Structure 1
Amino acid sequence: MRLAASALLLLFLTGPAIATPPQDPLGSPMWSEMVERVLKSGEVVFDDKVKITVPSIVEDQAQVPVTADARALPGVTKLVVFADLNPIQHVLTLTPGKSAPYVGFRMKVEQGTPVRAAAQTADGVWHVGSVYLDAAGGGCSAPAMARNEESWSTTLGHIQGRIWRDVSGFARTRFRIRHPMDTGLARDNTPAYYIEAVKLTTTAGAPLATLEMFEPMSEDPTVTLMVPLAPGESAIDLEGRDSNGGRYRSQISAPWQNSVVTPRG
């Protein structure tokens, strides 16, 4: 009994040391908390194969273009993007399925902050790429521009999309969903209201990719993904859900021409 208790004590004492994340090269005071809150479990390593790209000059703190690319890393099962010093840190989670672990989008920032892309591989290890985004403040607490338009509710959920063939063999798919993406932090006290999830499938219903979104995504979120699309496929189906239970279903048509579509119900 005493030997078993000693073994349990040793496990308790050594467990946290194994789980301690590596030292952050950007020196963020929130790094350890981000690992615990966003990544939650699994070994964490910094890896140059995970690329996170942000502009050197930010012109609009509510519309900051970001690209997270883990295509150089084999076996990625999940790709998470977060910003350490944002009031709401978690930006999005991509479950690529058969799609490439790549996502381009725009986000809000409240101040200068490290921005991370963390790619989890099948062995449970998180491979993290980091960059410091130098920006002025106010993006997360600014009210949505659409609220200034009386007709904003009539275009809510409308989707514009386009598909291109890519030399990688994937189809580069870009779509925009009209939505205010309210953070709940604006001075006008508008409550949080945002798109929570987007699912892309073939017209036959085969899953292509799933995207979880959070409040820091920019208004009218515009997203680029790399999805597999067989030569005979003529379209991609898209289904979204927001935090008020609203659902948006549309279809982005191929072959490789602009398509502007409205929800089917």
Structure 2
Amino acid sequence: MRTASPLAAAAALVCACLSWPAGADTGTDPAGSPLWPTIHQEVFGTARATFDNRIKITGPAFAEDPMQVPIAFDASALGKVDRVIVVVDRNPIRKVLEFEPMRMRAALSFRFKLQEASPLRVAARTPDGVWHVGTFMVDATGGGCTLPGATRKDATWSTTLNQVESRVFPGFNGAGSRIRLRVMHPMDTGLVAGIPSFHIEQLDLLDAQRRPMLRLALYEPVAENPIFSFDVDGPVERGISVAGVDNNGNRIRAQVTR
């Protein structure tokens, strides 16, 4: 079986990142998806939404593992952002997550489940109420939302449920810091026979005084045992913690270790 060279794989990734035409403030869907009007109504209602290439999205052109698709976005070029929503057009559960940056940069890395080839949308709301939408196309063989996760298959999920691992890294080119969290959870979609929906609903990052620094609302398409990376403009202070809850009422509590 032939495999792509690292150079070819990198080229495919770059092509995916640069596939949409330049120019912010356009009402024309760069993906040409017939689902976009429905998504606009479901997610934004009557609010204005405009496609904007200042939202940078990176990820694979093809999802080798549709249950663990890595994606990263950065909406900080928009200036102040109060909320970010990520949706996938062709997933049976379209909404992936909502992100309130609060005191953090409007940037996030994570993994999600992909049911079939689809545009992914990253929509960032600015204080004027306008949603700025970035679009990224991911191809896939499919099935990511309707297959049981690894810890469901080997029945180990209950032994590690809601355990948190964390690390702090220097920021890119020495600027600021990066916090990476991993929360152990099966993140069941409810679309696998005999396995009901079971997922983390909310995850907060708190400072030493337990004031929120960011908030995540998570939905079923977030990947099993989710990993999140956040960017801080300065050094990471001591005493930062994580708090959250899943849809069965199980609590998440942990300190961020440096």
Corresponding letter in the other structure for 1:98? R
RMSD over aligned Cα, in angstroms?
1.6
Q: 1:48 to 1:151 in 2, by over 3 A?
A: closer
| 2:156 is the alignment partner of 1:156 | no
How far 1:136 moved relative to its partner?
1.1
How far 1:230 moved relative to its partner?
5.2
Whole-angstrom CA distance in 1 between matches of 2:138 and 2:107: 19
Q: Runs of 5+ in structure 2 lacking a partner?
A: 1-25
Partner of 2:42, secondary structure, is: helix
Choose the corresponding residue for 1:94, options 76, 91, 99.
Answer: 99
| 2:61 is the alignment partner of 1:46 | no
The residue that corresponds to 2:245 in the other structure is 241
Q: Runs of 5+ in structure 1 lacking a partner?
A: 1-20, 255-265
The residue that corresponds to 2:29 in the other structure is 24
The residue that corresponds to 1:11 in the other structure is none
Whole-angstrom CA distance in 2 between matches of 1:236 and 1:40: 36
Q: TM-score, normalised by structure 2?
A: 0.85
Following superposition of structure 1 onto structure 2, how do residues 137-216 of structure 1 map, counting pairs within 5 Å? 137-166=142-171, 167=173, 169-186=175-192, 188-216=193-221
Partner of 1:253, secondary structure, is: coil
Whole-angstrom CA distance in 2 between matches of 1:217 and 1:150: 20
> Deviations along 1:51-92, whole A, 9 cap, x unmatched?
122202321000000112101111111111110010000001
Higher Cα Rg: structure 1 or 2?
Answer: 1
| 2:256 is the alignment partner of 1:252 | yes
How far 1:237 moved relative to its partner?
0.4
CA contact (8 A) 1:165 1:171 kept: yes
Whole-angstrom CA distance in 2 between matches of 1:213 and 1:24: 26
How far 1:22 moved relative to its partner?
2.2
Q: 1:109 to 1:151 in 2, by over 3 A?
A: closer
Q: Which consecutive aligned stretches of 4+ in structure 1 deviate over 6 angstroms post-superposition?
A: none
Choose the corresponding residue for 2:138, options 133, 138, 147.
Answer: 133
How far 1:105 moved relative to its partner?
0.4
**How many residues in Structure 1 have an aligned counterpart in Structure 2?**
232
The residue that corresponds to 1:6 in the other structure is none
How far 1:169 moved relative to its partner?
4.7
How far 1:122 moved relative to its partner?
0.3
Whole-angstrom CA distance in 1 between matches of 2:119 and 2:214: 26
Whole-angstrom CA distance in 2 between matches of 1:192 and 1:213: 12
> Deviations along 1:97-150, whole A, 9 cap, x unmatched?
011101100000000000010010000011111011111110000012101234
Partner of 1:38, secondary structure, is: helix
CA contact (8 A) 1:200 1:207 kept: yes
Partner of 2:40, secondary structure, is: helix
Corresponding letter in the other structure for 1:247? R
CA contact (8 A) 1:182 1:193 kept: yes
Corresponding letter in the other structure for 1:85? R
